[in-house]
Amino acid sequence: MEIKKVGVVGCGIMGGGIAQVAAQAGFEVVASEINETLLKKGLGGIESNLKRNVEKGRMKPEEMAAIMGRIKGTLTTKDFGDCDLVIEAAVENMELKKKIFADLDQVTPKHTILASNTSSMSIIDMAMATKRPDKVLGIHFFNPVPVMRLIEIVRTIATSDETIAAGQAFAKALGKTTVLAKDTAGFIVNRILSSLMATAVRMYENGVASKEDIDTAVQLGLNHPMGPLALADLVGIDTCVAIIDTLYNEFKDPQYIVPPGMRDMVTAGYLGRKTGKGFYDYSKQ
């Protein structure tokens, strides 16, 4: 099946990034949000990212204009009616995701593939909210989407070979590398990362080392681009807690118990870069 038009449900950091890379690859894109304010913010973020590429000489102004011209913003799922692929990039809330998939099943043609960008949740649970579970899969991008080269393609017990092939072809068209994962909590990357992150936070809470030294040790000792605490701030502490909780609920493995300090940070609203404070202070940046 050839994918020509792509829908993205959610135009936040992840959804906006997905919409951007799809439009850059030549796809027509429809991106939705729940209100006009969030939609303008999301589309504005895409435009800002592209402007930086123009300023750095990586892109011509006319290329930027063409990319933005391929992205349409909307507040209604009805505008996904002629999409060949729709990717859900909403918050990590299963009931919300099921509702989105049920709505998409009603408004999209029978051939349309429905995908979730969830980082840890069950794809089959979302698929069973539709009448086309064979056409549902996970297409999990990584943050920041325009930079990160990997996509996890997630297969449920109901996903067809044709759907997997279409998802892989779409990812290849974006210039991404894919790995194929079973539909288990955390898939590949977050199952590994969550254990590392929780361990790093516990070490910090127990006074083993400072946050700066923990991050530096992982950066230079394991050759990671950033340390786990800085990465938690980038991803969002609330998102990290949700992922680790999902893994614990699935596997009941103590390595996936959320450190108490992370829950306190969520309660206090210290969610990382998006709120200006997490493990590090970003208020003056």
Cα–Cα distance for residue pair 36/41, rounded to 1 Å: 9
From the list 32, 116, 117, 190, the catalytic residue is 190
Overall residue count recorded for the chain in this entry:
285
Query: Cα(29)–Cα(212) distance, rounded to whole angstroms?
Result: 40
User: 165-172: long-range contacts at Cβ-Cβ below 8 A with a sequence spacing of 24 or more?
Assistant: 166/1, 166/3, 166/85, 166/113, 167/113, 167/115, 167/137, 167/139, 169/3, 170/3, 170/6, 170/85, 170/139, 171/139
**What's the Rg (C-alpha) of the chain?**
19
**Is residue 119 flagged as an active site residue?**
yes
Distance CA 239, CA 121 (A): 12
Of 152, 148, 213, 212, the closest CA to residue 188 belongs to 152
Instruction: Give the three-class secondary structure for 271.
Output: coil
Angle at 136 between CA 130 and CA 140, to 5 degrees: 130
Nearest to 144 by CA among 12, 36, 27, 10: 12
What b/e readout covers 200-222, taking b as 16+ CB neighbours within 10 angstroms? bbbbbeeeeeebeebbebbeeee
Structure token pair of residue 75: 């507040």
- The span from the first CA to the last CA of the chain, in angstroms, equals 46
* Annotated catalytic residue within 33, 88, 152, 194: 152
Active-site residue, from 119, 120, 122, 194 = 119
Catalytic site residue 224?
Answer: no
Catalytic residue among 33, 92, 140, 194: 140
Residue 152 is among the residues annotated as catalytic for this protein = yes
Neighbours of 28 (CB within 10 A): 17
Amino acid at residue number 262: M
Q: Give the residue numbers annotated as catalytic, written as ranges.
A: 119, 140, 152, 190
